[in-house]
Structure 1
Amino acid sequence: MAAATRAAAAALALAALVFFLHAAVHAGAAATLSQGQSLGATDKLVSPEGIFELAFFAPAGGDPDRRYLGVMYAQAAEQTVPWVANRDAPVNAASAYSAAVTAAGELQVLEGDRVVWRTNTTSSAAAAGTGNVTLNLGDDGNLVLSGAGGAGGAGPMLWQSFDHPTDTFLPGMSITLDRRNGTIRRTLFTSWRSAGDPSTGDFTLGQDPLGSAQLYIWRGGGGGNATAYWRSGQWANTNFVGVPWRSLYVYGFKLTGDPPSRGDGVMSYIFNMYNSSEFRFVLQPNGTETCYMLLADGQWETVWSQPTIPCQTYNVCGANAECTAGDDGQALCACLKGFEPRDPAEYGGGNWTQGCMRSAPLGCEANNVSGGVGFADMPWMKLPNFAVWGSTVGDDDACRQSCLANCSCGAYSYSTGTGCLTWAGDLLDIYQFPDGEGYDLHLKVPESLLETGSKKRRWITVVVVVVVVIVVLAGCGLLLWKCRRRIKEKLVIAGREKPSPQSLLPLREARQDFSGPKQPDQEEAEGGGKKCELPLFSFEVVAAATGDFSEANKLGEGGFGHVYKGRLPGGEEVAVKRLSRSSGQGLEEFKNEVILIAKLQHRNLVKLLGCCIQGEEKILVYEYMPNKSLDAFLFGLLDWKTRFSIIEGIARGLLYLHRDSRLRVVHRDLKASNILLDRDMNPKISDFGMARIFGGDQNQVNTNRVVGTLGYMSPEYAMEGLFSVRSDVYSFGILILEIVSGQKNSSFHHMEGSLNIVGYAWQLWNADKGERLIDPSIRAACSPREALRCVHMALLCVQDHACDRPDIPYVVMALGSDSSVLPMPKPPTFTLQCTSSDKDDGIFRDRQQADESYSACDLTVTMLHGR
């Protein structure tokens, strides 16, 4: 009896030991699986921050009896599996299955005693001579098998899932092409068979094995029997030629390694982000590559996808033909200029597989290879495949001459992103993008075709000019008839009579005591449909008021021109903004500012008193701000109470522009020099030359002409031309940081590890040293709680993605209340990415240095082009 009792006790103790060993790796806490331990059917590894988990799963919508070991997003609302171990060897749900780190140092998936999948790292572990092999799951989703010391310690890494991807490209991974030692090694991503079946599918993504640095999607795998299904196009510093509207550089996507001209190097596309769980690229079962962004509610938002229409698939129209998308999205094919169908009989049924051929050969002569040929310009194109990169060609003209001098060159393209590209032979996979996207392709054709085209264009130009002249003359006649009385009053400008001081002002605005122009009758212009009339000054009166624009009266200058202090005949002080003739701000911006400010009246917006348009002179007359601009006044001694009042005043002005005004205006150039201060230090937003009016149902607009000031532009606006009211919110966040710190945004670029004030503020905030950001001159006397709350709000405003930033009504409410709890800001990935100390070799080091751009001045920029 005693022996039986002892045996039972021993068995119970052994069972307890097994239970506790199993519990050590059970779901919920462990991020590491040690040598000799295993994961059962209900066990899982969880990354340190709980972002990813490793466990067995049954695919949603798939066979419920099949189980796979996979890495999954723990915080996604629906099952999301970026990596699968035994994708082609599922285990049966009814069997005893597990995953274990063996004594020999490899990870295995077992069904009973049968090994269905393994890492094959036994020899690596033996060669390394390491014990205590562990399996670790990181917050980046990478599953790492390493020797003693773990993934973060001194032990060697034996294997990682990032080197063996399935269908998903995560931050921290790379798409690599290694052509050293005469062999080709590539990172390949393979789609699932279907949404419910993770087995190897029909499509594979990877780099072009020929070394062109392009990404391909192949149907039928990446081997010799595969056929190209999609091509990204050449890499152009921040995006792919085939995806011109999406700046992947913003998301941490870039090319590193040896340039494409060197056939024996290593090239890698890397994808680095500080929030590794936010974005993922997935090769879908249907061959579509899709970028997803994880939202706060756990749902996935589609950022972009390709191919989604026939024209985006590879070479759908055949050689020497271009594809354009019809209104229904279907492909419309046409031979390029100077080409004709290879087999005209096939084209009646829309079969373009044979492509096109030249109608006549190019006339290349022995002594003059460029004789008799020219170039037909093809804008907005996805550039053809099989380009030859001219590494020594530095500009468009040299690229053109290089192609002319080579009889076999049939086309060329040049841009700062791609450099000089030339093509010989057939031109494949050409797609014309809509809406002005894409790149210019110059097709070599006989001069006879260009002459015919030139004659036709000349006739079209003549007709257009005639029509325009008739319309303009008719419009001028109508305008002269309607303004005949005012013309009579202004005859002095034409030199028909000697001017008098009164006649130099419009009759309606003249005052007997010359006390200055009256306010417009409808200051608010918020309803009623009445026309807002703005006083017009003559150039002579404005010149007299400013002492003939003397240097002594100059208040400042910028990219637009100069601002002068003036005094009207009645004694009223004014600020006169005289646009330079060479200014990037032209007539359209001038008219824009006149129309907007005349209709917008708010205590935190500068008041426009009148304007002057005479000849090439474009002048605006404002109320005078004795304390000049925030840019000139802030970066000295200014107490905290005044600074906080300025922050609140700017926010109220933006609230009026974004919500309370009927026009709903986006300023687009909010910066310290455009905030003026009156006698009581009340801030007033000025300079509406770049502003845009939003329609009632518009939330976001795309523009090809990016205007504003570097350092204040939001990432989506600077890189892609997308702007919204939250673009102003980003600029406002920069202003808050400047006001709190007492330093200009551009003054931080000399600081190690920080490109601008955003990166510096985040580093201090993240290290719980936010008080160091406060201006030392006010640090002791200010309210630290209030100042840090402003810094917190600023970091919310400068988040990378517009959807993460608060709107201005929330900002105004939160600044006026200490009780509301502010959410935690996300890291400014774009800013921090630009400060990376990683250096690449060759031309890619130069590219990276060129991309790390900042502005040491705050002149408004009007020459950038968003994609």
Structure 2
Amino acid sequence: MAHAATTAAALFFFFLLHAAVRADAAATLSQGQSLGANDRLVSPGGTFALAFFTPTEGDPSRRYLGVMYARAKEQTVPWVANRDAPVSASSAYSAAVTASGELRVMEGDRVAWSTNTSSPLGNVTLAIVDNGNIQLTAGGGDGGQPELVWQSFDQPADTFLPGMKITLDRRNGAVVSRTLFTSWRSASDPGTGDFTLGQDPLGSAQLYIWRRSPRGGGGAGGEENATYWRSGQWANTNFVGVPWRSLYVYGFKLNGDPSQRDGVMSYVFNTYNTSEYRFMLHPNGTETCYMLLDTGEWETVWSQPTIPCHAYNTCGANAECAAGNNGRPVCTCLKGFEPRDPAAYGGGNWAQGCVRSAPLTCETNVSGGGGGGVGFADLPGVKLPNFATWVTTVGDENACSQTCLANCSCGAYSYSIGTSCLTWGQELLDIYQFPDGEGYHLHVKVPASILDTGSKTRRWTTVVIAVIVVVAVLAGCGLLLWKCRRRIKEKLGIVGSRGKPRLPSLLPVRESRQDFSGPKQPEQEEAEGGKKCELPLFPLEVVAAATGDFSADNKLGEGGFGHVYKGKLPGGEEVAVKRLSRSSGQGLEEFKNEVILIAKLQHRNLVKLLGCCIQGEEKILVYEYMPNKSLDAFLFDPARRGLLDWKTRFHIIEGIARGLLYLHRDSRLRVVHRDLKASNILLDRDMNPKISDFGMARIFGGDQNQVNTNRVVGTLGYMSPEYAMEGLFSVRSDVYSFGILILEIVSGQKNSSFHHMEGSINIVGYAWQLWSAGKGEELVDPAVRAAAGAATAEALRCVHMALLCVQDHACDRPDVPYVVMALGSDSCVLPTPKPPTFTLQCTSSDRDGLFGGGHADESYSACDLTVTMLQGR
């Protein structure tokens, strides 16, 4: 008996000892378990942790239960449970899942905070997910699916994470429910602050930040006072108030129709790597997007409001705000308007705004100008005003203009692909003039007499400016030629930079030294001056040891510039090592410039450059390793093609498009890749696509749209007609290559595989034949066609988009922002593509048929010739 009692006591003690979940025990908490002061739950992937904490520089006597980034260097807490009810650090506190099925934060016997939930199903479990969401689920016994009882994503704090939604539900003009984010009280106090972010309650789909007055009470979701900031209208890929940053690239989308003010609209935020980005509302009212770097540090992607002009309606009605010296606002009345109170306006009181200098007549509105009619004054590059009305019955800018002219109460309109037709009443509020040429065009209705006077003044102004510009350009060219006479001699091979004959460089990205004329970047100067470079430099012996002395067993592939090897660094990190051949003709200076420039390109759909090695004649690039190798290894291998289901293929298409959007518009450098093809699309462990091989890339100036080159580089079959025939290339050249790539992904066949098909010699001609005949589904790879089911419409939409991308004339092809928007929106009506007339045949060995099995030893990289230079002879 004594022995039995001792055993029972030991078991009871053992149970009590393990009732609390230790730091690395699990990602879940069951009923009866608790989380103590030194315990934590960790998500399955180790991304997030749930634990008690004290804010950095906060009151050490106060403790909060919160979600934290596990690998961030500094304390980063996107969600706090008991933000307004901290527990005392000197007390006995814990978090527990109760028998009734709720999560409670306890301080002794006091309930500091709870989810106020219950479930009759029992078996309630608390789990932390890899996206930072805390979930309470119930049931799930006997193999059934557990039921979601509560989740932290429905009760956000100050941070918008991937997987969350910003929702607005309106019924009959009234708000039923909506998601609100509320700032911390200060950087060291997570209590409810003065700023709140959410959707416009009127249903315009804009995001607003509201500020409570110091005497305004209420917590999160309490009384909302003055509007502090608004995002502007959603333009399919970004907000009109943040035009330079395509949020769609970061997984930001709008579900719902903003032209319908009733219904459910929600902004969703989903990224491939759920820990990469977060949007945070700071205690000062600033909304900032952060990206988590591999170093564990946070990099700011964008932030607003940061200057007075970003704040809501700084200059009042019918006025525009432009940033002056030190960001101070400069207010100007719109054309056709004058200050409402000139004395107050001159004294810096802009709240009064402006009024029309002459009233508009209504009876001659539809004439559009002339005599006593009206017209439109163009205001380019602005944040569009508030309180817009979507006009869904028109499909082009001319119809939008006529709609506004025919409406006496319409005071302005704007039309773009992203926003369609928007009109405004007579009061135009919150207009900001962007300083860098970004933004949207606003057309303000004014009397025609004002436009006539302005046109005469503009003609004389244009003549004077033209004369001044011509004189200045001629003088500048003469001075430039005199200063650059030595460089010109070097370019012509008369003398080298060090008195030696200069050898021509074969690196296509350095076709002209003028590509990089002007002041050097600090990082470039440091690298060339032998100082510390921001990109790691690997010793040759380290790279050699990592690759087994460049062993053939570690070779992953080869291209026109050298071999690629798999390697493992001393820390265990797997890398891909690209060793440039000595015969590539790439000089040391060009190599350094290329490395420094590529290092600036950081995006989840671009392969990451980890470092380089420059030693003797060795020039080596070290990239992140992609375990699934390249897309062509799956797509064109009959044995592996079936591993790519349609969902994965569409995911790859979208990822490539987002990578191109970053290169063409959102990066600090404007880059044209010039060799986009399946073998240059690498796949990571989760089949996320990453664009690689920038050896042929070309950097555009800010005002360049098209460049002519005497070196045609790229791959036969992927080159656009104007590039292959005339050497003209632009961002639309990449769009053409992307169109070919879409057709290959959909069909699972190489471009050259179609040269035996009757009436067509490449994939473009064959796709056009099927699509125009209404048989586009026959182009879909049989390996996924049967399983695609409802996704067939999505595949046909991709074929449609591909045919738009491969149109003969560059001006007919869509730009990448439109491609990204259209691929992510089923409601967007695609225009009809023009039939292709240009074809380029690539010879290859005979194949058994379009979708035949082929020979087992047939290479899936056949006919993938990279052209370094084409010259007439």
| TM-score range relative to shorter protein | 0.5 to 0.7
Partner of 2:394: 393
CA apart distance, 1:792: 10
Instruction: Find out whether 1:329 has 2:330 as its counterpart.
Output: no
Instruction: Give the Cα separation in 2 of the matches to 1:246 and 1:151.
Output: 49
CA apart distance, 1:463: 2.3
Instruction: Give the Cα separation in 2 of the matches to 1:48 and 1:400.
Output: 55
Alignment of 1:225-244 (within 5 A): 225-244=224-243
Question: RMSD across aligned C-alpha pairs, in angstroms?
Answer: 5.4
Instruction: Give the Cα separation in 1 of the matches to 2:13 and 2:378.
Output: 80
CA apart distance, 1:475: 11
1:381 is aligned with what amino acid?
A: V
Instruction: Give the Cα separation in 2 of the matches to 1:42 and 1:806.
Output: 49
Contact (CA 8 Å) 2:681, 2:689: kept in 1 or not? no
Instruction: Give the Cα separation in 2 of the matches to 1:651 and 1:444.
Output: 62
Q: 1:738 to 1:59 in 2, by over 3 A?
A: closer
Instruction: Find out whether 1:80 has 2:76 as its counterpart.
Output: yes
Alignment of 1:533-548 (within 5 A): none
Moved more, 192-201 or 261-270: 261-270
Unaligned runs of 5+ in 1: 480-518, 535-589, 600-639, 668-692, 703-711, 717-727, 763-789, 809-830
Instruction: Find out whether 1:100 has 2:91 as its counterpart.
Output: no
Instruction: Find out whether 1:166 has 2:80 as its counterpart.
Output: no
SS in 2 for 1:56: strand
Partner of 1:67: 63
Moved more, 429-438 or 291-300: 291-300
CA apart distance, 1:653: 8.0
CA apart distance, 1:754: 4.3
CA apart distance, 1:90: 0.8
Tell me which of 624, 630, 647 is aligned to 1:753.
647
Instruction: Give the Cα separation in 2 of the matches to 1:857 and 1:64.
Output: 63
Partner of 1:670: none
Q: 1:376 to 1:857 in 2, by over 3 A?
A: closer
Instruction: Give the Cα separation in 1 of the matches to 2:478 and 2:128.
Output: 77
Partner of 2:182: 190
Cα offsets for 1:531-567 (capped at 9, x unmatched): 9999xxxxxxxxxxxxxxxxxxxxxxxxxxxxxxxxx
Instruction: Give the Cα separation in 2 of the matches to 1:361 and 1:850.
Output: 52
Instruction: Find out whether 1:49 has 2:45 as its counterpart.
Output: yes
Contact (CA 8 Å) 1:369, 1:406: kept in 2 or not? no
CA apart distance, 1:402: 0.8
Partner of 2:562: 648
Contact (CA 8 Å) 2:388, 2:424: kept in 1 or not? yes
Alignment of 1:545-556 (within 5 A): none
Alignment of 1:101-500 (within 5 A): 101-122=97-118, 125=119, 129-149=120-140, 154-180=145-171, 182-220=174-212, 225-256=224-255, 258-365=256-363, 370=368, 372-467=373-468
Instruction: Give the Cα separation in 2 of the matches to 1:308 and 1:761.
Output: 31
Moved more, 228-237 or 290-299: 290-299
Tell me which of 588, 598, 605 is aligned to 1:660.
588
Contact (CA 8 Å) 1:370, 1:405: kept in 2 or not? no
2:108 is aligned with what amino acid?
A: G
Cα offsets for 1:136-192 (capped at 9, x unmatched): 111111111011128996021010000010011110001001113644311000000
Q: 1:192 to 1:655 in 2, by over 3 A?
A: farther
SS in 2 for 1:406: coil
Instruction: Give the Cα separation in 2 of the matches to 1:73 and 1:471.
Output: 56
Alignment of 1:583-602 (within 5 A): none
Q: 1:79 to 1:656 in 2, by over 3 A?
A: farther
User: How does the TM-score come out when normalised to structure 1?
Assistant: 0.62
Instruction: Give the Cα separation in 2 of the matches to 1:329 and 1:342.
Output: 25
CA apart distance, 1:337: 1.1
Instruction: Give the Cα separation in 2 of the matches to 1:328 and 1:35.
Output: 57
Q: 1:715 to 1:107 in 2, by over 3 A?
A: same
1:141 is aligned with what amino acid?
A: G
Contact (CA 8 Å) 2:391, 2:422: kept in 1 or not? yes
Instruction: Give the Cα separation in 2 of the matches to 1:33 and 1:644.
Output: 51
Instruction: Give the Cα separation in 2 of the matches to 1:31 and 1:283.
Output: 28
Cα offsets for 1:222-276 (capped at 9, x unmatched): 55542111110111111110000111111111101x3122232101100011211
Q: 1:595 to 1:236 in 2, by over 3 A?
A: same
Moved more, 319-328 or 462-471: 462-471
Cα offsets for 1:603-634 (capped at 9, x unmatched): xxxxxxxxxxxxxxxxxxxxxxxxxxxxxxxx
Contact (CA 8 Å) 1:35, 1:133: kept in 2 or not? yes
Instruction: Give the Cα separation in 1 of the matches to 2:293 and 2:360.
Output: 56
Contact (CA 8 Å) 1:749, 1:854: kept in 2 or not? no
SS in 2 for 1:70: strand
User: How does the TM-score come out when normalised to structure 2?
Assistant: 0.61
1:415 is aligned with what amino acid?
A: S
Q: 1:134 to 1:19 in 2, by over 3 A?
A: same
Instruction: Give the Cα separation in 1 of the matches to 2:135 and 2:479.
Output: 78
Instruction: Give the Cα separation in 2 of the matches to 1:654 and 1:714.
Output: 26
Structure number with the bigger relative contact order (C-alpha 8 A, sep ≥ 6) is 1
Instruction: Give the Cα separation in 1 of the matches to 2:39 and 2:806.
Output: 58
Instruction: Give the Cα separation in 1 of the matches to 2:479 and 2:67.
Output: 73
Larger radius of gyration: 1
Instruction: Give the Cα separation in 2 of the matches to 1:761 and 1:234.
Output: 25
Cα offsets for 1:547-596 (capped at 9, x unmatched): xxxxxxxxxxxxxxxxxxxxxxxxxxxxxxxxxxxxxxxxxxx9996778
Q: 1:846 to 1:533 in 2, by over 3 A?
A: closer
CA apart distance, 1:15: 2.2
2:80 is aligned with what amino acid?
A: V
Instruction: Give the Cα separation in 2 of the matches to 1:293 and 1:407.
Output: 47
Contact (CA 8 Å) 1:758, 1:795: kept in 2 or not? no
Contact (CA 8 Å) 2:374, 2:447: kept in 1 or not? yes
Contact (CA 8 Å) 1:657, 1:664: kept in 2 or not? no
Instruction: Give the Cα separation in 1 of the matches to 2:352 and 2:422.
Output: 25
CA apart distance, 1:7: 6.9
Instruction: Give the Cα separation in 2 of the matches to 1:645 and 1:12.
Output: 68
1:159 is aligned with what amino acid?
A: W
Contact (CA 8 Å) 2:135, 2:151: kept in 1 or not? yes
Instruction: Give the Cα separation in 2 of the matches to 1:110 and 1:96.
Output: 8
Q: 1:347 to 1:595 in 2, by over 3 A?
A: closer
2:265 is aligned with what amino acid?
A: M
1:644 is aligned with what amino acid?
A: E
Instruction: Give the Cα separation in 1 of the matches to 2:809 and 2:681.
Output: 27
SS in 2 for 1:250: helix
Q: 1:407 to 1:303 in 2, by over 3 A?
A: same
2:125 is aligned with what amino acid?
A: T
Q: 1:655 to 1:361 in 2, by over 3 A?
A: farther
1:461 is aligned with what amino acid?
A: T
Unaligned runs of 5+ in 2: 213-219, 481-490, 518-553, 564-577, 609-620, 657-678, 697-740, 747-784, 819-873
Alignment of 1:772-787 (within 5 A): none
Cα offsets for 1:471-529 (capped at 9, x unmatched): 899999999xxxxxxxxxxxxxxxxxxxxxxxxxxxxxxxxxxxxxxx96459x55559
Count of matched residue pairs: 622
Contact (CA 8 Å) 1:184, 1:209: kept in 2 or not? no
Q: 1:322 to 1:533 in 2, by over 3 A?
A: same
Instruction: Give the Cα separation in 2 of the matches to 1:48 and 1:749.
Output: 26
Identity among equivalent positions (%) equals 56
CA apart distance, 1:348: 3.0
Cα offsets for 1:721-762 (capped at 9, x unmatched): xxxxxxx999x999x947767959xx9999723448966999
CA apart distance, 1:419: 0.4
SS in 1 for 2:390: strand
